[in-house]
Every structure is written in structure tokens, then in C-alpha cells.
Amino acid sequence: MTDQSVQMSLGNQFQGSTKIGGKSDRFAAFAHYFLAAIGFTIYADQVCPLLETLSPFLLFAPIALAYPLRVLLLVRLQKLPYERRIVQQFKLDIGLFISAGIGLVVTNLIAYDSLWHSNAKVLVGMAMLGLFVAVDLALTAERQLIQELVRKRYDLELGQHFVSFAQKFNMMAIAIIVSTALVLFLVVNKDLDWLLTEGIHKGADSARNSILLEVLVVMFVILAYSIRIILSYTKNLKIYLTHETQVLTAAAQGDLSVRVPIASQDEFGHMAQGTNAVIGHLQAYQQELLTTRDVSILALASLAETRDNETGAHILRTQRYVKVLAEHLSHHHDFVSELTSQTIELMYKSAPLHDVGKVGIPDSILLKPGKLTDAEFEVMKTHAQLGADALLVAEGQMGSNYFLCFAREIALTHHEKWDGSGYPRGLKGDEIPLSGRLMALADVYDALLSKRIYKPAFSHEKAKSIILEGSGSHFDSRVVDAFVACEQVFIGIEQQFKDEEGVG
């Protein structure tokens, strides 16, 4: 999984707007404020005996008017740094509800000379309602902010002091419990006072039903908001854990380009920061190892080539020929599952070691200017097995890995032929690993175009005709077809890494 795919996966977890104050945020806020206004109006007008003197409009207006004020003030919040937006939105929402409650209490005192406990209940109820609404909208905004941060690949700045996710949840739970107890106390106290003064005249059943209905409504509202907030907290917690899990899974599978978005200023933000630091160190260490490996490969392959009549440019050309062929064949239905981007890269990196076994061939044979005798050619053919054996020893010391496997099979099989007449094992057809078949064509093509003591350099057309003649006998015909399709690329590579005059 690449960094881009992880980011897309994280971003796709959220729907709707990508910023606070967007469509989904405005809808959630409107729904909260509207339902709170409607609910409070119905409660006061139909349930609470001491608030029924107020008109429905007067009960509805404070919260309803607070919403457009919120929309105007929220525009200013968009100009704040990401790190401050959620907290400021929370303060805004709870402040608007408390202000609406104070306005209602003042109106109630001036116009109706209402009792203190009735006003206290209104003020505490508004504050608690505002707390519920503010927390839920803040959690919703937090999810939208996470999406925006993931999309923009922006990380929040983390301070030394922070309130942990668990502490925030505990404080919210305590606030709910305390405010619930306080509201219920005020409701019971007010209802008992009402029962002793006015309720007694309505009869026991009517008074009891009136009190139970009010308590039931209050309990229902508290329970509904509490469940919603708990689910919202859980949803945000799942997002943070999903961030961490997906990135760690990708890193465990070898993709060290991924990073956890730092989208919260709590322990999850610090966990993300720590995870990113560890992955970054691993990536740097891996890159250093890969660079060391690549340099060692080229050094070893160049050392082997110095003992031959070939040049270092031969290494550079052949590995690029192999990559071009592999990339073209990766779209062929016979090879689409085998030639992944990782496999092609491993073939490209290991191709320079195809002739490493030549270090074991005596100079009298390796550097002989004339034609080799049959006995000498038999010795020369052993270089494929010598190279494979040397890489097998390395594989035994370092443990099996894909790179050494490819290097070993290329060294062993790049002189095998499709019809089974090659060496060292006489493999035939698909018995020859694909990497060996690709290297076979690349090596022959480069040898045909290169000047040697015993032969002149052939033209591309001449080399092409020889390769076409070998299709189905020397070479896999599908590989030959790929060569023909990519011949202009081959010509470009040969020109770019041309041997210096006099070499060879």
C-alpha cells in the first residue's frame, strides 16, 4: 500500500464537507439548534407547570436566534489556526446556549416575576443542553477537520501540554453526570414546591402524571444526547485507531513511505508523531542499505566484467533492456500476475550479476582472442553455475530473499534456450524462469551490437534479424514480440550508454 493509497483510504472514511462550517456542519448545527428550540418550547409549554405562562414564541426565540448568530461568528473561526478551531467552536456553542438561557431568565424575571428555582432550572437546563450540543458539534467538526488535514497532508503542531483523549472523555462523562443530577434535583425540588402549592388542587393522579411526564422528558433528552455523544466519541476513536493500524500494516508489509496524519492534539497525535519518527528512521536506514546494496552489486559486476572483453556499459545496457522487456510484458495476460512493479525492480537491480561467475574462469580461456576449443567452451559454460553457486552461498548466509533469488536464477539460466539446447541444465520452454528468458535476449542483443576482438559490432537491423530467427528456438517468442515492440527504446538505450571508442 503506497502513501497515496493510504491517504485516500483514510480520506474516504469521511463524507460531506472537508471543513468546519461546511454543508454537513451547518446541517448538523441547524438540526441541533432547531430541535433544541422545539424541544424546549414543547417542554416549557406542555410539561413544565411554571413555564407555561411564557408564550411559545418567547420560549422558541432565544435558541432559534442563536443559530444565525453562530453562522456569522463561525466565519471568523475559519481564519484561526487549525489547532484552535475545535476549542473555539465548542466555546461558541456553549456560550450561545448559556446566553439564550440568561436572556430567557431575565425576561421571565422582569415580565412574570417567576420563582428562583424555575429560573435556576431554566439556566442549568440551557447550560446542560448547550454542553451536549457543543460537545457533539465539536466531535463532528473534529471528524471533518481530520478529513481536511488528511486531504491537505497537514500535520497539527503538538504542544508539550495536552489534554488526553481519555481525560476529555472522563471530563465529559463527569459533566453529564453532575449536570444530570443537578437538573433532576431542580426539577424534583420545583415539582415538590408546585405540588404543595398548586398541584394539590389538581388531584393526586393528575399531579403525579404531570411530575412523571416532566421527569420522563428530561431523562429522555439526557439519555438521547448522552448516547449520541458516546457514539460520536467512539467514532472519532475508531478514526484515530484506523489511521495508526493502516499505516502500521502498510509499514509491516514493507511500505515505509506511509505516514500517520497528526490530526489531534492528544495522545493519538503524539502516537502518530512517534510512529512517523520510527518509520522515518526505518526508511532512512532502508535507503542506506539499498544504496549500499546497489553500489556493491555494480562494483562486483564491474569487477567481473573487467576480466572479460566486455565493458561496464554492458551492465548498464542489459539491465535496462531487461526492465524495458519486463514492463512491456507486464501487460501481457500470461505475465500480468508475475511481473509486478516490485518484481520488475528486483530483476532490474539483480541483472548486473548475470555474469558474476566469470570470475571463476581462467584468463587463458576468458581472454582468449580466438575461437575456443570444445574443451575450453565447456569450461566457459561453467560460469553460469559458478555464479549461481556463489549467490547461493550468499543467500545461505543472509537468508533467503527475493533479490538474491532473482540474481541467482538470472546468473544460472540466462544461457538456457527455449528449445532446450542451452546450458548449464538444458531447460526447455517455461521451465526457464522468466527472468532468465529476458536476460537471454538482452545479453545476446548487446553482444551482437558490441565490438569484440573476435567480431565487429553489428547494426541494430542485423541484430534484430538474428533475434527474430531465434524466436521459438533460442528465445521465448513472446519476449521477442516485446523486443520488436520496444526496439526504438532499445536503440535509445544503446546510444545513451554507448561504449567508448577503442574499448572491447
Tens digits of residue pLDDT in 246-272: 999 988 888 888 888 888 888 888 888
Burial of 368 (0-12, 13-18, 19+ CB in 10 A): middle
**Greater confidence, 219 or 230?**
230
Phi and psi (nearest 5°) for 502?
A: 90, -10
Phi and psi (nearest 5°) for 17?
A: -70, 160
**How distant, in Å, are the alpha carbons of 4, 152, 328, 418 from that of 428?**
42, 54, 23, 5
In which band, very low, low, confident or very high, does the pLDDT at 193 lie, cut at 50, 70 and 90?
low
**How distant, in Å, are the alpha carbons of 78, 127, 128 from that of 71?**
11, 20, 21
- The overall average pLDDT reported for the chain is 81
Tens digits of residue pLDDT in 366-376: 888 778 899 99
Burial of 376 (0-12, 13-18, 19+ CB in 10 A): middle
Reply yes or no on whether the pLDDT at 430 is more than 90.
yes
Q: What is d(CA 103, CA 100) in angstroms, rounded to the nearest whole number?
A: 5
| Across 451-464, average pLDDT | 87
**Share of residues in the chain with pLDDT > 90 (%):** 28
In which band, very low, low, confident or very high, does the pLDDT at 421 lie, cut at 50, 70 and 90?
very high
Tens digits of residue pLDDT in 65-95: 888 898 889 888 888 888 888 889 999 999 9
Burial of 279 (0-12, 13-18, 19+ CB in 10 A): buried
Q: What is d(CA 291, CA 158) in angstroms, rounded to the nearest whole number?
A: 34
The C-alpha cell 505516514 sits at 259
